[in-house]
Structure 1
Amino acid sequence: MIPDITELCVASWNVEHNGGSGGTRRLAHRILAGYRPHVVFRHELTGAWDHGKRDLYAEATALGGLFPFMAAPREGRSRNPTGVMVDPRLFEIVAHTDHDLPWKPLCHVQVRLKGCPKTVHLASGHLCHFDPVLRATESRRITTLADHGRTALVGMDANSYPYRIADEVSQQIVWDEVEDPVHFQHRTIERNGVRVNDTLPSEILTGGPKPVFTDLAHHAGTGFRQSGALTPTASLKRTDQGPPQRIDWILGTPDWEPTLLRVEVVDTEEVRRVSDHALVIAYFDLSAVQHMLSTTQ
């Protein structure tokens, strides 16, 4: 283990259309590099597959030489792939696979923290923006990463809402007042004859008496009283889709809970110049993570 690293920094960010122009994209790289992340879950790596994945490698280099992976875009589906980047100083790469879901593949990378035998499953997900049924299917696929006692971290744009609405600091959506009719169709489900927030992904992934994953921002916000962890993350620009909501999540299997130190939501003017989504960062006690990963099941 590198002696001057005491905290594991994990970032998750939907950079709108990969930052668009070169200058905006470089600003995104500078913002993210400032936090020196060891794991990055990226969404909307638009165009990063082209030209031998030139833009993907440029971002990984700008972030201090991280090892980058991304899902291959599929013809006729979303052209905004997901990706995972990891710090080779801390991690050994075990495997990389794409989960070929109906709209957007899940980028899944297996790593080991150096000196620790247990494999960690890292996944970057961007749930379907237009169909609650597909989002539920994608969420159930993500649960398989934690099957058989596996340890997993997931960074995602959920395009849906946390199910513990009372704990959120976001202003609640009044759907009758939402101007965009397409957004209404994309983001609501029917319950008892009424259209309400689609919270199914949150329920599938983090609900029930034995949740598969912990919503780490919710854990920090309610367990540690870090109210800033529950800051809304999107949309930071549009005003016709209701007030911003916390739809960008970092999830961990429950064994990550004792290692968590804090969660930050970065919503600065610079971030808003780059994307309509805030940057989400989780910090973990590296010694506690090392202990957690020191035995296999």
Structure 2
Amino acid sequence: MSTINDDAVRVISWNSEHNGIDRDGSDRRWRLAMSVFAGLRPHILLRQEMTRADLHGQRAVWAEAARLGGLQPFLAHATPESANPTGVYIDRDLFEPTEYFEHGTAMWHPVCNPVVRLKGSTRKLSLASIHLCSWDPDLRLHEARRLTILGKPGMAAILGGDCNSYPHSQSEAATLPDWPDIADRTHFEHRTVDWFGERVSDTRPDRVLAGSHDGRSPVFSELGQYAATKLNQPDALAPTASLWRTDQGDMQRIDRIYATPQVAEALTSLEVLVNDDIREASDHCPVLATFSLSRLRRALSEDAPMAA
């Protein structure tokens, strides 16, 4: 795992299964997750499946913030359909919150979207924790299109989470599920789409967010592909889930972090983290994106060119 340095901004995205709380109420897995975070000292934490963290005055959210060294929390609403809201934590020593938005229209999980200003910079940075629909490919496509509003011209953003779908790059096509061999047929219905009479892996959300069309730049850079191709870090394409299931085929890279292109240029590394504690804490691996603080500050300065 990464070492800590002073010119680094560490962004972690992690779906910690049911917030690390077991059905019997045990918080053993939550404590393991907190130990992982404590060792990594994130400046931005994008969380998914903060199960029932909205209850009791968001008691669990504030307990987690305290365990993370006083990071400031933001929590989206749970819905009648899912008690698993998304959340974002930020380091107030580096970032000043300026606004908070929640995108919930026709989204399975509302998107937690604080906007911050990196101290010493002038442009704002939009942060978003995302958890795309696990059971409806068409809703996932809608959700991805909604997320493109965070990448409008002149905007800077980092968003990440559980995409419940697959990378669209041809370089990863051979790693996608071999569907005839998948035992869980419900999983097949949830993760495939019709394509000229065949059922294929759903890569459409990633294509919307990070696809190039007619030679035009994508809305966002997908940081796994960016690290693999621009930074010569092939391990950035390591799979993230499931660490637990054996009936859904090989592990897949469904947890991803995206950034607007000028922000992506400040990236120094992208890692998929796994160890015994992570395997016990959740069925997903955390994804750690490390940015150069100085380069990110330049990217967010007034005279830095923004994506058009």
Whether TM exceeds 0.5 here: the answer is yes
Selected match of 1:204 from 198, 208, 214: 208
Deviations 1:64-121 (A, max 9, x none): 110000101122x211110110000001111111111322101111000012110100
Aligned to 1:8: 9
Shift, 1:258, TM fit:
2.0
Q: Which moved more, 1:94-103 or 1:50-59?
A: 94-103
Shift, 1:180, TM fit:
0.5
Any conservation in 2 of the 1:18–1:25 contact (CA below 8 Å)? yes
Mind listing any 5+ residue stretches in structure 1 that lack a counterpart?
none
Shift, 1:257, TM fit:
2.5
Shift, 1:167, TM fit:
3.7
Q: Which runs of 4+ in 1 moved over 4 A?
A: none
State whether structure 2 residue 80 is matched by structure 1 residue 79: no
Mind listing any 5+ residue stretches in structure 2 that lack a counterpart?
none
Shift, 1:63, TM fit:
1.1
Aligned to 1:245: 252
Name the amino acid aligned to 1:240: D
Any conservation in 2 of the 1:101–1:138 contact (CA below 8 Å)? no
Selected match of 2:66 from 54, 61, 64: 61
Q: Which moved more, 1:159-168 or 1:125-134?
A: 159-168
TM-score w.r.t. the length of structure 1 is: 0.95
Distance 2:146 2:160 in 1: 14
Distance 2:170 2:259 in 1: 20
Q: RMSD of the alignment, in Å?
A: 1.3
Aligned to 1:224: 231
Distance 1:141 1:172 in 2: 25
Deviations 1:223-272 (A, max 9, x none): 22212111100011101111100000010000023211001111112101
TM-score w.r.t. the length of structure 2 is: 0.92
SS at match of 2:31: helix
Shift, 1:172, TM fit:
3.2
Aligned to 2:20: 19
Deviations 1:109-147 (A, max 9, x none): 100001211010000000000000000010011100111
Shift, 1:32, TM fit:
1.2
Shift, 1:5, TM fit:
2.7
Aligned residues: 292
State whether structure 2 residue 297 is matched by structure 1 residue 290: yes
- What's the % identity of the aligned pairs? 45
